[in-house]
């Protein structure tokens, strides 16, 4: 199930993204009150709709989201970052080829760092290059885990219980500041440096899927999640041995080889097979 956060007019809410062609063919769409379906966009669009969820999709103890009956063609809403995490934990050097391309050793243990919640932006939003402070802002396409439950000390075998779903992320990095500072906080934390989206897929199996990043349509990163050095159960177990993860918190799993700089005017897209595509434009801070 694809869970999106969206704005329509002055309203912000969560919704289930459904394919108009399959409405009624699954449990979610079938739960829609009869007659609530609205005609789609007349055939010129994507054929996707957003069915509004009553309340919050992370609410515990439910059998799945309850729908309000309101449904919008996806072209008529603005998709937002699908979650507002209290924190983003990220993993460095978790693909061997990427560690090598930057001249680094492959870490024996996961290398973790934090990005602030204020770095999050949604699909279509601008990545703002802090040109006064950094001369090299890189994209890093990544698979992101979204937590569904408060959890701590999760053993690898129980990791599936705490994961709500997956989305695409761009771990935007001021590469020159990363090298200069030693600590990565400044390089990783500028506002807009954590695009997430386009939605959360709750039924995704991320063990071996394609991950591709394109800039202006040109493929820059093309790898598979099976090449992660530390896989998802180990990562979640490792991170939750350190800190409590809250519902909506996000874990970025690392970027494959092919990272490179962005300039103003670029359009950067992170595609994860089975999830969708997260696209953002790049501007310079004025």
> Residue 140: what are its φ and ψ, rounded to 5°?
-145, 100
Of 43-51, 78-86, 113-121, 133-141: span binding Mg ion (CB under 5 A)? 133-141
Residue 240 token pair: 């939750």
Of these, 255, 269, 279, 280, which contacts Mg ion (CB under 5 A)? 255
Q: How many separate helices (H) and strands (E) can be counted in the chain?
A: 6, 20
Closest CA to 189 of 169, 171, 176: 171
12 vs 179 by CB, closer to Mg ion: 179
CB 192 → Mg ion: shortest distance, Å?
15
Longest alpha-carbon distance in the chain = 60
140 vs 249 by CB, closer to Mg ion: 140
48 vs 172 by CB, closer to Mg ion: 172
52 vs 140 by CB, closer to Mg ion: 140
Residue 171 binds Mg ion (CB under 5 A):
yes
Residue 242 token pair: 């350190």
What span, in angstroms and rounded, lies between the C-alpha atoms of 9 and 226? 41
Residue 104 token pair: 């680094």
Of 19-27, 41-49, 164-172, 242-250: span binding Mg ion (CB under 5 A)? 164-172
Of 53-61, 81-89, 153-161, 251-259: span binding Mg ion (CB under 5 A)? 251-259
Of 4-12, 39-47, 189-197, 247-255: span binding Mg ion (CB under 5 A)? 247-255
What is the residue whose two structure tokens read 């809410």? 13
Of 60-68, 105-113, 147-155, 167-175: span binding Mg ion (CB under 5 A)? 167-175
What span, in angstroms and rounded, lies between the C-alpha atoms of 122 and 83? 9
Residue nearest to Mg ion (CB): 171
What span, in angstroms and rounded, lies between the C-alpha atoms of 270 and 242? 29
Counting residues that bind Mg ion (by CB under 5 A) gives 3
Dihedral sign, CA of 186, 252, 242, 228?
negative
CB 75 → Mg ion: shortest distance, Å?
32
32 vs 170 by CB, closer to Mg ion: 170
Residue 140 binds Mg ion (CB under 5 A):
yes
Residue 192 binds Mg ion (CB under 5 A):
no
Helix H or strand E encompassing 271:
strand 267-272
Residue 21 token pair: 């062609």
200 vs 270 by CB, closer to Mg ion: 270
Q: Are strands 120-121 and 137-139 parallel, antiparallel or unpaired?
A: unpaired
Please give the residues from 26 up to 85 whose contact with Mg ion meets the rule CB under 5 A: none
Exposed/middle/buried for 205, CB within 10 Å: 0-12, 13-18, 19+? exposed
CB 21 → Mg ion: shortest distance, Å?
36
Of 98-106, 127-135, 225-233, 253-261: span binding Mg ion (CB under 5 A)? 253-261
CB 40 → Mg ion: shortest distance, Å?
37
31 vs 257 by CB, closer to Mg ion: 257
The alpha-helical segments, DSSP class H, found in the chain are: 27-30, 96-101, 159-162, 175-181, 185-188, 232-240
Q: Return residues touching Mg ion (CB under 5 A).
A: 140, 171, 255
């Amino acid at each position: 199930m694809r869970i999106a956060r969206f704005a329509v007019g002055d309203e912000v809410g969560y919704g289930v993204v459904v394919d108009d062609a399959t409405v009624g063919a699954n449990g979610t769409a079938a739960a829609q009150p009869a007659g609530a379906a609205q005609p789609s966009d007349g055939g010129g669009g994507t054929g996707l709709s957003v069915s509004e969820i009553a309340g919050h999709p992370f609410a515990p103890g439910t059998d799945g989201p309850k729908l309000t009956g309101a449904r919008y063609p996806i072209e008529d809403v603005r998709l937002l970052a699908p979650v507002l995490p209290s924190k983003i934990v990220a993993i460095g050097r978790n693909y061997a080829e990427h560690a090598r391309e930057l001249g680094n050793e492959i870490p024996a243990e996961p290398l973790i760092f934090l990005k602030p919640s204020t770095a999050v932006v949604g699909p279509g939003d601008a990545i703002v290059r802090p040109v006064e402070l950094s001369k090299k802002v890189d994209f890093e396409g990544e698979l992101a885990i979204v937590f569904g439950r408060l959890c701590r000390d999760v053993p690898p075998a129980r990791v599936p219980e705490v994961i709500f779903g997956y989305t695409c992320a761009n771990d935007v990095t001021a590469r020159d500041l990363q090298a200069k500072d030693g600590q990565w906080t400044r390089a990783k934390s500028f506002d807009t440096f954590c695009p997430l989206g386009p939605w959360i897929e709750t039924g995704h199996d991320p063990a071996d899927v394609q991950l591709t990043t394109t800039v202006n349509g040109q493929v820059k990163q093309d790898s598979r999640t099976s090449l992660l050095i530390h896989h998802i159960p180990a990562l979640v177990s490792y991170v939750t041995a350190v800190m409590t993860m809250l519902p909506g918190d996000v874990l970025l799993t690392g970027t494959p080889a092919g990272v490179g700089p962005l300039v103003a005017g670029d359009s950067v897209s992170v595609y994860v097979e089975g999830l969708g595509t997260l696209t953002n434009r790049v501007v310079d801070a004025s």
